[in-house]
Amino acid sequence: EVQRPAVLLVHSDYTPKSGPQRVRDLLPAEADQLLQQRVAFFNVWKPLYRPVEELPLAMCDATTASDEDMLLMQLKYRERTGEIYVMRYSPSHRWYYFPNMTPQQALLLKTYDSET
């Protein structure tokens, strides 16, 4: 059983720059053609082994966050450098969480959309 630690940093996986760059990284031969149309990335989030009893997934209502709340952060990997947003605290943020999720439950998250 592989244990993956919870990510404790409030973040968004992609930025307007890193979304298209990820297409180029994954599909270099097709990237130019693909990037002329709408591109979106989705993640599936689910507990792998047992119900989540601590550190559940939480999401901020995007309508309560402002551009000023988002800070660019570079992620250094062995083969590339990525870019994400991290979020600074604001008392205006409204949060939702998903308590006691089980391995039979999953969330589908849109993490990048070239049209938004």
- The percent of residues above 90 in pLDDT, for the chain, comes to 78
Kindly give, in sequence order, each residue whose CB lies less than 8 Å from that of residue 48, ignoring residues fewer than 6 positions away: 2, 4, 103
Confidence of residue 1 (pLDDT cuts 50, 70, 90): low
Q: What is the pLDDT of residue 2?
A: 62
Q: Give 53-95 pLDDT, tens digit per residue.
A: 888 999 999 999 999 999 999 989 898 888 999 999 999 999 9
3-state secondary structure of 33: helix
Domain ranges of the chain: 11-113
Q: What is the pLDDT of residue 12?
A: 92
3-state secondary structure of 19: helix
